[in-house]
Amino acid sequence: MFGYRVPAPDEAMLISGGRRGHGDAPFRVVIGHGKFVLPVFRKTRFLTLAMCESEVAETCVTKQGIALTVRAVIAFKVGNDTESIVNAGQRFLSDQDQMSVLTGRIFAGHLRSIIGSMTVEEIVTERQKLATEVLETSKTEMAKIGLIVDSLQIQSIDDGETGYIEAMSAPHKAAIQRQAQIAQARATQASAEAQQEAARNQAEYSRQTAVVQAQYNAEVDRVQAQAAQAGPLADAHAQQEVLAARTELAERAASLRQQELVAEVVKPAEAEAERIRLLALADAERMKIQAAAAASYDRVALDRMLIDQLPQIVKEASAGLSGANVNVLNGADGLGEIAAGLVGQGLTILDSVRRNLGASDATGEPAGDAGSRKGASADSRRPGDDGRIGIE
């Protein structure tokens, strides 16, 4: 629309002419919205609010008198408030590139001032402290011209050909180099150990492979040998089984023959011997019984014979007395005593003969001899005076 102006998002629109702006500002400030501007009666200009940068390369002398070349980068912009825009617009609206030049000069001055109060060691080791002090000291001055600093970065510090920084860093470099060498040595050692371990692993793998291959070859050879020996071994086993069967058959035949011999020879012989023994025992028992019966019969016959001969013996005894001179002292009683004595003598003779027969059976002498001896002794006996019989 004719006469209507709108600033960009990173710009401030400054309208001059007509009514004055904020405070003593010679223009009105419009940010973020449009404004109808009468042509011919109003004039419109635009001030950038974007970020700007300025580079500084300044030679500064430290507290130790050592010259250092410091390079820094400053990031700045116009403040967003109306006062900062008014201040920056009054100073840089016609030539906005002068903001970077002036900012660089301001910071160069502050750098020289702050570095002059510090040592090289502090500057090198405490760069952030240096940047912070420069920002703090320049903040008020930058606000007067409507600018604010977002950051300050120290890019490099160089002592030229003096070699102070290098000498200062020599121990650290040596330590770092030593650490680097140690690290390199450790890395080399680790690499060597890794290579040795890899070689050992490779050797172990090769050994295991060789062992497995040897075992495989041995297994193959064993299987092949077994396969080659399978036929002869089978024949040998078959022959061995045949021999075992024949041996078992021969043993069974021998056992059977032994049983046959026992049945045919030993058992009959044992039976015959038992029969003979039993017959001998029976015959001996028969002979014993016969001998006992014969001996018993002989005694009975002899007793009977003696009994039968007893009257004759008495008779002969009495006949012998017939021619003897017998003196009877007590009459009829004396005669009876003589008869009783004769009878007693006959019984005594009979008992003696029986005893002699028993003794002859025990000693094996003939009974007739003992009887004859007993008879002779009986015949030679004479009655004593107790019978009062005298025989001459």
Residue-wise pLDDT tens digits, 237-285: 888 888 898 899 889 888 888 888 888 887 888 888 888 888 888 888 8
Distance between CA 89 and CA 98 in Å, rounded?
12
Residue-wise pLDDT for 190-240, tens only, equals 888 888 988 988 898 899 999 998 998 898 888 888 888 777 777 888 888
Sign of torsion over alpha carbons 375, 381, 386, 391:
positive
Non-local (6+) Cβ contacts of 34 within 8 A are 4, 5, 6, 7
- Both tokens of residue 311? 């009257």
- In the predicted structure, residue 392 carries a pLDDT above the cut 60: no
* Residue among 58, 100, 95 at smallest CA distance from 76: 100
What is the residue whose two structure tokens read 């004769």? 342
Amino acid in the structure at residue 267: K
C-alpha separations of 146 from 19, 90, 230 in Å: 23, 9, 111
347: amino acid identity, one letter = L
| φ, ψ at 24 (rounded to 5°) | -95, 15
* pLDDT score for 352: 66
- The residue to which tokens 């390079």 are assigned: 71
CA separation for the pair 223, 155 (Å, rounded): 82
Residue type, 27: F
Selected residue with higher pLDDT from 279 and 344: 279
C-alpha 164/C-alpha 388 separation (Å) is: 197
- 73 band by pLDDT with thresholds 50, 70 and 90: very high
Q: Tens digit of pLDDT for each residue in 79-129?
A: 888 888 888 888 888 888 889 999 999 999 888 889 888 888 888 888 888
**In the chain, pLDDT over 90 holds for what percent of residues?**
3
Q: In whole angstroms, give the CA distance from residue 122 to residue 271.
A: 140
Alpha helical stretches, state H, the chain: 82-92, 98-115, 120-125, 127-144, 164-261, 267-322, 332-363, 367-380
CATH: 3.40.50.800, 3.40.50.720, 3.30.479.30, 1.10.10.10. Which one for 4-170? 3.30.479.30
Q: Residue 20: is its pLDDT beyond 70?
A: no
| Structural element, H or E, at residue 379 | helix 367-380
**What is the model's pLDDT at position 317?**
56
pLDDT at res. 354? 62
- C-alpha dihedral over 319, 320, 324, 327, to 10 degrees? -70
Rounded alpha-carbon distances, angstroms, from residue 321 to 2, 302, 330, 338, 351? 231, 27, 18, 10, 23
Q: Please say if the pLDDT value at position 385 is more than 70.
A: no
Nearest-angstrom CA–CA distance, 195 and 191 = 6
Look up residue 349 and give its two tokens: 């003779």
Which of residues 321 and 135 earns the better pLDDT score?
135
Tell me how far apart the alpha carbons of residues 192 and 378 are, in angstroms, rounded to a whole number.
Answer: 151
Note the pLDDT of residue 372: 41
Beta bridge partners of 56: 72
The predicted pLDDT at position 21 comes to 56
- When pLDDT is cut at 50, 70 and 90, the band that residue 130 belongs to is confident
pTM: 0.41
- The listed range with the strongest mean pLDDT (39-43, 53-57, 362-366) is 53-57
Q: How far is the C-alpha of 149 from the C-alpha of 103, rounded, in Å?
A: 9
The pLDDT of residue 326: 46
Cβ 374 vs Cβ 359: under 8 Å = no
Contacts of 303 (CB under 8 A, 6+ apart): 354
SS3 sequence, 235-269?
Answer: HHHHHHHHHHHHHHHHHHHHHHHHHHHHHHHHHHH
97 by Cβ neighbours in 10 Å (0-12 / 13-18 / 19+) ranks as: exposed
Q: What is the pLDDT of residue 339?
A: 56
The DSSP output letter for 33 is S
The most confident of the ranges 143-147, 266-270, 364-368 is 143-147
Q: Is pLDDT of 366 > 60?
A: no
**Which is more confident, 242 or 313?**
242
Q: Is 160 left (phi over 0), alpha (psi -120 to 50) or beta?
A: left
Confidence of residue 367 (pLDDT cuts 50, 70, 90): very low
Kindly tell me if the per-residue pLDDT of 17 is higher than 60.
yes
Bigger pLDDT: 21 vs 257: 257
Report yes or no: 130 and 154 within 8 Å, Cβ to Cβ: yes
- Tell whether the model's pLDDT for residue 319 goes beyond 50: yes
Task: Please report the DSSP string for 220-238 in residue order.
Answer: HHHHHHHHHHHHHHHHHHH
